[in-house]
Amino acid sequence: MGIEDDFYATVKLKTGEEIFAKVAASEEEDRTLLLVTHPIVISEIKLRGSVAGYKLEPWLKTTTEDMFVLNMDDVLTLSESSDVEMIQMYQTFVRDSISENKGTVKLSRKMGYISTVTDAKEILEKLYKSS
């Protein structure tokens, strides 16, 4: 009995869904359970026949829970992942979704100009008057 160490894995469910998550196996009496943390679905984005990138989405979109219990009877196959790039994408997605849920978004220059409302108002008024 007990929970094994966490590992990253791709889990193919009998329903056909394929998820990527941090997984821990747990033995409970006569069955094996999987504890999956922040499960995501990964889709390839293709442009003219070649893979241009990946789209990561939460597995379940209408819940705020981040840990789920799966019965091994519902799992078709499980593949432990050591793909550093995939794990980094997953960790970045999880980190961003956690900060998004907290309502705190880190401001950056990529978002546009950063200023106070008063400063922005003054700049816009100057632009309006000069036109």
Domain definitions of the chain by residue range: 2-106
pTM above 0.75, yes or no: no
85 is written with which tokens? 């790039």
CB distance 8 to 80 below 8 Å = yes
pLDDT tens digit string along 110-128?
A: 666 667 788 888 888 888 8
CA distance 34 to 90: 18
User: Percentages helix, strand, coil for the chain, rounded to the nearest 5?
Assistant: 30, 45, 25
pLDDT by residue (tens digit) across 40-58? 998 888 887 776 788 899 9
Residue range 2-106 forms a domain whose CATH class is mainly beta
Could you say which residues of the chain have pLDDT below 50?
1
